[in-house]
Structure 1
């Protein structure tokens, strides 16, 4: 019998410690502090922790047990958040006893998951179950900005793995994630020619006008019915209202449902930006579709069935869903590894000032995770 419920108080204490540290993706010192705390906890359980250094973003951690007989399970979680420096002191960890919720920056996305992974493995060790040794854990520091430096690390550590468990939070209704859209980011930089809009506008070449043409054409690529979305979410440009703009920038978010759509959209976006509509302007396009779609194939469906069976043994009815958001699950799934995402605790409003954790789910989902690891180890 895996006992975790009695650990709720100390789990919340560790969670509070983590939440009250600013660890936005660009705050290297803060993310590294999270890494140091978590690494010490894993070392206390007998794990080896390998630190993958970074100069700009936080260090990544790869965690293995020196007595592992065969490592079949990869667990992936991230240590960074989306919040600006100072958020932790402005909105520190707090508990609403009446609602049964904990609040704070990154409380559900995904510092509660870091605590959950640690205590699931600790519980297995306390049961003298060898399954706790036969896992590999990757904790990365740049998931919220596209896993730019950690993608290759995750793919490398996935080799030889039988199953991948990704610790993004469960959906608000407790559902796990078995399907995700692929995603990417592009940056369009337009150069024009400045001129006074009242005295000699004919000499100017408006970068903003050119960018506007591109925005319209990009948004025409939307096909929501088939899972394609293109959104120019941020624009920059101009110095004064009476000056023809000499530069403009557009930031583009792209979502796709299939690998074929990813290839098609990369081609179409490049095609849109290959020529200009405003004579005398130039365009530079950078970016790509960096996260492939995660499709619920036969392997993922079979793994989810195992998870459901484990849930029923614990009195839990586990459902799955698909989502448009991106995660590191896309990388492991694209390598053909059976992958389940959303295995963290339940919460909601991630990336907002109302982000919360359902406290009861902290121990409940940690116990589920421990049993899944146990079952996958035995089944192998």
Structure 2
């Protein structure tokens, strides 16, 4: 965020630093283009990554192998944030934008945007077009729809006891969690586009203690808002298998489904025409399971085009890479979108 702010200042771009909260980093808001009351263009980039501190030094150092640039967050989504910022700087320098331009960099997308969602939605309501620089899919395709995302935490409390001398007196929270996890995973319905995933589990204190507590987290993905409500209620309705246990569920839908509206379809058509002029075909992914900040703006009814970032593969893994050859054409696409959308 400091690097972006410094480069924006050097380019005389108006910048507003928004202090982070709840232990998270700052956001940065850049503005350019004509200063009118027209609904403009909003670009969304996040600068956080799922890779823990130390990954760069230990497990995934920056390296180039042929056309591949390896590194934590290079594909998701440092590459997209960088190329979009270069396009934004170029159009701001030329003063060639037809509409007001706003560029928001955020610090918390990978954990569900808990501190920036309201800001994103406020800006989204004022935008005619939203361009999201998440990475391209399947060889350079953009994204025009995404599943909605729900996040839940299930906490289970039993009764501790000595695992040797008092085992019958205990009520194992981990045993109860095993029943509940199987029930949650059984909700997955691929034909309906619904998936449930238990991603983390923690419980117990020692091998010789019947565990009193266990906690696990659930990721829910749905195609429709109605299924978000239905399956969210199914998860919240979990009840103990053992009546001596207590099961408490918190959480809900974190990101609404991102549907391909007629406005988004028209925006994709414009982007594809521009890409063709630049010499490449811009395909689309009809729907992807991953969520993004584009879910928030699409749910407001505006035209949202996602997956405009770098091409590559391996997001969220130690094999993450971006394709160097994709940077210039995708930067040219973003530059021309900022110049020509009106």
Q: TM-score range by the shorter chain?
A: over 0.9
User: Which of the numbers 304, 308, 312 marks the counterpart of 2:268?
Assistant: 304
If each structure's helix is expressed as a fraction of its own residues, which one has the higher value?
1
Aligned: 1:324 with 2:293: no
The match for 1:77 is 45
* Deviation at residue 65 of structure 1 after TM alignment: 2.9
Q: 1: CA distance between counterparts of 2:302 and 2:109?
A: 19
Stretch deviating more after TM superposition (158-167 or 197-206): 197-206
* Deviation at residue 114 of structure 1 after TM alignment: 2.1
SS where residue 127 of structure 2 aligns? coil
* Deviation at residue 107 of structure 1 after TM alignment: 1.1
User: Which of the numbers 184, 192, 195 marks the counterpart of 2:158?
Assistant: 192
* Maintained 8 Å contact 1:46/1:65: no
Q: 2: CA distance between counterparts of 1:172 and 1:223?
A: 24
Write the deviation string for residues 220-246 of structure 1: whole angstroms up to 9, x where unpaired: 211111110111122122233343211
Aligned: 1:375 with 2:335: no
**TM-score with structure 2 setting the length:** 0.94
The match for 1:29 is none
* RMSD over equivalenced CA pairs, Å: 1.6
Please list every run of 5 or more consecutive structure 2 residues that lacks an aligned counterpart in the other structure. Answer: none
Aligned: 1:145 with 2:111: yes
Pick closer, same or farther for the CA change 1:66–1:306 going to 2, 3 Å.
closer
The match for 1:57 is 24
User: Which of the numbers 72, 76, 93 marks the counterpart of 2:62?
Assistant: 93
SS where residue 120 of structure 2 aligns? helix
Count of residue pairs the alignment pairs up? 338
* Deviation at residue 82 of structure 1 after TM alignment: 1.1
* Deviation at residue 304 of structure 1 after TM alignment: 0.7
SS where residue 168 of structure 1 aligns? coil
User: Which of the numbers 298, 305, 319 marks the counterpart of 1:333?
Assistant: 298
> Greater RCO between the two (CA within 8 Å, min separation 6)?
2
Q: 1: CA distance between counterparts of 2:264 and 2:97?
A: 25
**TM-score with structure 1 setting the length:** 0.85
* Deviation at residue 128 of structure 1 after TM alignment: 4.5
SS where residue 190 of structure 1 aligns? strand
Stretch deviating more after TM superposition (191-200 or 312-321): 191-200
Pick closer, same or farther for the CA change 1:300–1:212 going to 2, 3 Å.
same
The match for 1:343 is 308
SS where residue 180 of structure 1 aligns? coil
